[in-house]
């Protein structure tokens, strides 16, 4: 049976397996207490990466940063030992301008040998991740071949295989995953090219999961989804400068990658309950509750405040009309949530304004918050059937017609 973990740097969940990129804001004792209280296991952390997340080159492949890298590994080892973290990832960092690839790779190779030995003493496997050059230019380890070369050169080093990054670099994910399972220590996944949930892009995740399930591979896995803007992916180490530059491209640069824009254009199917010249309302294929409807503007904007005021009003009015129809329907909800997640830190997984109209039912299974946080795993398990969505949509459409 496959086990999945959520990256708590971006996602929150009550499930028992989680992953945190950089947990170092809290001490090991505090994290240990929180993990125990919430019955969770921490399955992966990163070695502190120096200035990489702030736009620098990092510490793993930079000549002169060896001492800082070893201190970072020591900190990661302390956390791994205290929290029984089985896997620790090293981010190779960016090639230093003016230095050859060979010079930076030599530094990285020595540092990886040190990390493997030190983290092994802490009970953890060291993994190395390739990050595609579109999301992070100059990243030293950016291909399957790069990972293979270091794994073969450094005993006990494993790959962190990210399906999204491999696909972005032109790899056929399923066969290269199958052929390299013995060298893989951790698998991460999101679809490509948009880095949304499985099924939103070109990767065959049924085959990916079947390959993992039918193999002896026993690592945990986590779900990561959602793009922030253009090529800046929310769970990817893209610098603030890159994010700023991507934002300057405006809405038009994002439309070709936007799932909701494709629904508006008719390029992707949807089960619609309402539409007019300004907005569209359709069933969420990964509903948090039955009859979960999304209302979107036809105009592409990521943030609510960027919509023209009249269009914001139309969005809310349409949401209220849909809710009225749901209240009047045979579904008989006890309440309705209206919800907009605005920006990646608010867990906006599609960078196009959307209003959730979410019915609540008496006895519908615990707190709303927990159901919301469970959604990443529902994405992995697959969408609700078209027949079930259409049945509820037909009832909502009937009530909307009646209420005209």
Q: Which residues are catalytic?
A: 354
DSSP single-letter state for residue 65: -
Backbone angles phi, psi at 362, to 5 degrees: -60, 130
**Computed over its alpha carbons, how large is the radius of gyration of the chain?**
23
A 10 A CB-CB count for 345 gives 10
Among residues 236, 219, 239, 218, which one has the least CA distance to residue 227?
Answer: 236
Q: Which residues contact 139 (CB under 8 A, 6 or more apart)?
A: 92, 93, 94, 95, 130, 131, 132, 133
């Amino acid at each position: 049976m496959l086990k999945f973990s959520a990256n708590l740097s971006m996602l929150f969940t009550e499930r028992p397996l989680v992953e945190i990129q950089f947990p170092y804001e809290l001490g090991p004792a505090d994290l240990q207490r929180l993990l125990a209280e919430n019955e969770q296991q921490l399955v992966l952390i990163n070695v502190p990466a120096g200035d990489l997340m702030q736009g620098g080159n990092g510490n793993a492949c930079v000549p002169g940063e060896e001492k800082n890298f070893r201190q970072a590994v020591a900190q990661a080892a302390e956390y791994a030992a205290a929290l029984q973290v089985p896997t620790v990832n090293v981010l190779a960092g960016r090639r230093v301008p003016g230095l050859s690839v060979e010079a930076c790779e030599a530094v990285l190779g020595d540092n990886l040998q040190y990390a493997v030995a030190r983290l092994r003493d802490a009970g953890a496997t060291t993994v190395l991740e390739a990050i595609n050059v579109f999301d992070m230019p100059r990243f030293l380890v950016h291909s399957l071949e790069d990972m293979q070369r270091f794994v073969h050169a450094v005993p006990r080093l494993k790959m962190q295989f990210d399906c999204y990054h491999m696909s972005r670099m032109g790899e056929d994910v399923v066969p290269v995953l199958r052929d390299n399972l013995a060298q893989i220590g951790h698998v991460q996944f999101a679809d490509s090219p948009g880095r949304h949930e499985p099924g939103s892009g070109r990767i065959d995740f049924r085959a990916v999961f079947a390959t993992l399930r039918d193999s002896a591979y026993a690592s945990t896995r986590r779900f990561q989804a959602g793009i922030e803007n253009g090529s800046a992916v929310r769970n990817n180490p893209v610098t603030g400068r890159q994010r700023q530059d991507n934002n300057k491209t405006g809405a038009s640069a994002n439309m070709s990658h936007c799932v909701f824009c494709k629904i508006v254009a008719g390029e992707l199917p949807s089960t619609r309950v309402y539409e007019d010249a300004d907005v569209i309302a359709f069933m969420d294929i990964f509903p948090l509750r039955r009859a979960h409807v999304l209302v979107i503007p036809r105009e592409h904007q990521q943030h609510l405040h960027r919509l023209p005021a009249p269009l914001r009003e139309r969005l809310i009015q349409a949401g209220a009309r849909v809710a009225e129809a749901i209240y009047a329907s045979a579904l008989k909800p006890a309440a309705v949530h209206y919800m907009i997640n605005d920006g990646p830190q608010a867990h906006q997984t599609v960078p196009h304004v959307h209003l959730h109209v979410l019915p609540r039912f008496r006895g519908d299974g615990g707190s709303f918050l927990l159901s919301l946080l469970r959604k990443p795993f529902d994405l992995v398990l697959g969408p609700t059937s078209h027949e079930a969505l259409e049945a509820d949509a037909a009832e909502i459409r009937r009530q909307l017609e009646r209420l005209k």
